[in-house]
Amino acid sequence: MRTVIFLPDLRSARLSFHGTVGLVPTMGYLHEGHLSLIRRAREENEHVVVSIFVNPTQFGPKEDLSRYPRDLERDLRLIEPYTDLIWNPSAKIMYPPGYQTWVEVEAMTRPLEGAMRPGHFRGVTTVVAKLFNSVQPHKAYFGQKDAQQAAVIRQMVRDLNFPIEIVVCPIVREPDGLAMSSRNVYLDSEQRNAATVLYRSLSAAKEAYESGERDAEKIRGKMKEVLAAEPLAEVQYVSCADYDTLDELEEIKGKTLLSMAVFIGKTRLIDNFVLG
Amino acid sequence: MRTVIFLPDLRSARLSFHGTVGLVPTMGYLHEGHLSLIRRAREENEHVVVSIFVNPTQFGPKEDLSRYPRDLERDLRLIEPYTDLIWNPSAKIMYPPGYQTWVEVEAMTRPLEGAMRPGHFRGVTTVVAKLFNSVQPHKAYFGQKDAQQAAVIRQMVRDLNFPIEIVVCPIVREPDGLAMSSRNVYLDSEQRNAATVLYRSLSAAKEAYESGERDAEKIRGKMKEVLAAEPLAEVQYVSCADYDTLDELEEIKGKTLLSMAVFIGKTRLIDNFVLG
């Protein structure tokens, strides 16, 4: 396993790979969710590249960029068994003075996370385009945890003709249902208990769906009801949307994304289920 | 030489190339300017791909998209000796229903052509990013005729880490100095004579520069003076700017771009000289 920082070093390492290359883009502080992506990439490719870069352009001015958790040494130890090459550039390498180019996906980035975090997806799609051009992978791996991000990346790849297959892997959860997230480390023990409310809320909605409920407003109501019972939870949004377009639904017909963003204290958590 | 229309056919043709690939993106109706790019690509690469696509997203609503000149048969005959593969997609292939992704270069697209043609460069950078991802060339060839376009593409390639070398080739001119352009076909014979005023204006400015003039405003004045003497010419802009940033200059120091856009009748012509 080799770690590179500068783009020319990445390019020359990349040139030494002759088989298929899988890329797993991360912001570091890796957990079982990331490792599931990296293991999948290992199974499906001859070479595995992991990028570790806390991308400043996808954080809003009031978000947690400066306190975002970091532990590079631990990350390297965790992924060592599965990874050929790590790219760990600095913000100055990715966005040098005079930087001025942005990749933007439009309609699909407007609702949900996009509505709550203006500019977030512009930062995501720009950095992912840069990672794709730098690493030139055959496949790239993203987690279903960031459901809208996965949909937006798929749209970008289709629209801009990137010759890359996007693989979206299932959410990895703690035994009590909490979705793995680097931000879970912000939670104290009381908040950690309360944080299971996202999973409980989604499970209740799924149960209603499986009992035949197809009224999307009632499904959203079910999720809100469970969230409202948790005093530490402050709901930002709750959604029952078309899986492909992310348009909010009135009636559930095809593949559907249930998703939510909830503050537990100052920590913003997201989670989702796919129905159908 | 093979012509393909659909992206999967392009991809499989591309996979059959094992050496270096040069791409020449064009909007067709080819002239000696384009041919100079294609010949240069032929000299420098094992395989040459030419795209022919009149890109609707770089035309403004009041511009000449529908009447832009086209002659595919003639184009194919002209480039046959130099070209391995032609990609000639339709607008629907490039921008299918639901299309929503844009690549945008900011500061450098604001002055000059960008100021006169809002959205033009967003269309250019988006389609060029798509061409780059589709063809995956080692080198791509652009004409100095579209000086700002060449600067913007270079910036995009640098910013988004495209693994592609941009080669900018000199303007090819008619014997009387008029820069070759597909739009020259719009000119009637009186207008065709008047159109040499762009070259004469730039030459006068260059002469002043070579006589030691370094005051950019005086250089712009010299260009305007020559243009004003031509009754058929209506000036849109005249610029004396830094070659790299395209910032308008007060004093000429390093490499400098003299450029202009001038209407001759309803036909909009651009031309430029590089000083220093």
Q: Answer with the one of A142, A169, A196 that is the final residue of a domain.
A: A169
Task: Give CA angle at A191 (A185, A196), nearest 5°.
Answer: 90
Say if CB B51 and CB B64 are below 8 A apart. no
Looking up residue B270, the CATH number of its domain turns out to be 3.30.1300.10
Q: Residue A264, Cβ neighbours under 10 Å: how many?
A: 25
Q: Please answer yes or no on whether A104 and B104 come within 8 Å at the CB atom.
A: yes
A177 inside domain: no
Strands A267-275 and B2-4: unpaired
Q: Are residues B100 and B194 in the same domain?
A: no
Q: Are residues A71 and A152 in the same domain?
A: yes
Q: pLDDT in tens for each of the 276 residues of chain A?
A: 999 999 999 999 999 999 999 999 999 999 999 999 999 999 999 999 999 999 999 999 999 999 999 999 999 999 999 999 999 999 999 999 999 999 999 999 999 999 999 999 999 999 999 999 999 999 999 999 999 999 999 999 999 999 999 999 999 999 999 999 999 999 999 999 999 999 999 999 999 999 999 999 999 999 999 999 999 999 999 999 999 999 999 999 999 999 999 999 999 999 999 999
Q: Are residues A9 and A128 in the same domain?
A: yes
Three-state DSSP at A23 gives strand
Q: Work out how many domains chain B is built from and give that number.
A: 2
The phi, psi pair for B107, rounded to 5°, reads -50, -45
Q: Are residues B245 and B196 in the same domain?
A: yes
Task: Round the average pLDDT of chain A to a whole number and report it.
Answer: 97
Pick the residue from chain B with its C-alpha nearest to A14.
Answer: B163
Pick the residue from chain B with its C-alpha nearest to A96.
Answer: B159
Q: Answer with the one of A132, A147, A169 that is the final residue of a domain.
A: A169
Distance CA B191, CA B172 (A): 20
Distance CA B265, CA B232 (A): 7
Say if CB B186 and CB B266 are below 8 A apart. yes
pLDDT of residue A253: 95
Q: Please answer yes or no on whether A102 and B103 come within 8 Å at the CB atom.
A: yes
pLDDT of residue B255: 97
Q: Are residues B90 and B144 in the same domain?
A: yes
Q: Are residues A157 and A55 in the same domain?
A: yes
Sort out which chain A residues have CB atoms less than 8 A from B7's CB and list them: 161
Q: Answer with the one of A111, A143, A169 that is the final residue of a domain.
A: A169
Overall average pLDDT of the B11-35 stretch: 97
A176 inside domain: no
pLDDT of residue A124: 98
A129 inside domain: yes
Cα distances (Å, whole numbers) of residue B3 to B13, B26, B86, B89:
10, 14, 5, 10
Options A18, A34, A47, A138, the catalytic residue: A34
B117 inside domain: yes
Q: Are residues A152 and A259 in the same domain?
A: no
A202 inside domain: yes
The parent domain of residue A196 ranges over 182-275
Q: Please answer yes or no on whether A102 and B101 come within 8 Å at the CB atom.
A: no
A174 inside domain: no
As a three-state string, the secondary structure of A61-105 is: CCCCCCCCCCCHHHHHHHHHHHCCEEECCCHHHHCCCCCCEEEEE
Q: Please answer yes or no on whether A104 and B107 come within 8 Å at the CB atom.
A: no
Distance CA A203, CA A224 (A): 12
Looking up residue B158, the CATH number of its domain turns out to be 3.40.50.620
Percent of chain A residues past pLDDT 90, beyond the cut:
99
A186 inside domain: yes
Q: Are residues B22 and B111 in the same domain?
A: yes
Task: Round the average pLDDT of chain B to a whole number and report it.
Answer: 97
Q: Please answer yes or no on whether A155 and B7 come within 8 Å at the CB atom.
A: no
DSSP B157-188: HHHHT-S-EEEEEPPPB-TTSPBP-GGGGG--
Give how far B59 is from chain A: nearest CA, Å: 19
Distance CA B203, CA B273 (A): 8
Task: Determine the angle formed by the axes of helices B32-44 and B72-79, rounding to 10 degrees.
Answer: 40
Q: B222-247 pLDDT, tens per residue?
A: 999 999 999 999 999 999 999 999 99
A203 inside domain: yes
Q: Are residues B186 and B164 in the same domain?
A: no
Q: Are residues A135 and A229 in the same domain?
A: no
Give how far B126 is from chain A: nearest CA, Å: 8
pLDDT of residue A116: 96
Q: Are residues B190 and B99 in the same domain?
A: no
Q: Is B47 a catalytic residue?
A: no
Distance CA B106, CA A257 (A): 35
* Closest CB to B155 among A100, A130, A161: A100
Q: Are residues A203 and A143 in the same domain?
A: no
Sheet holding A139-143, edge to edge: A2-4, A85-87, A47-52, A21-26, A139-143, A165-169
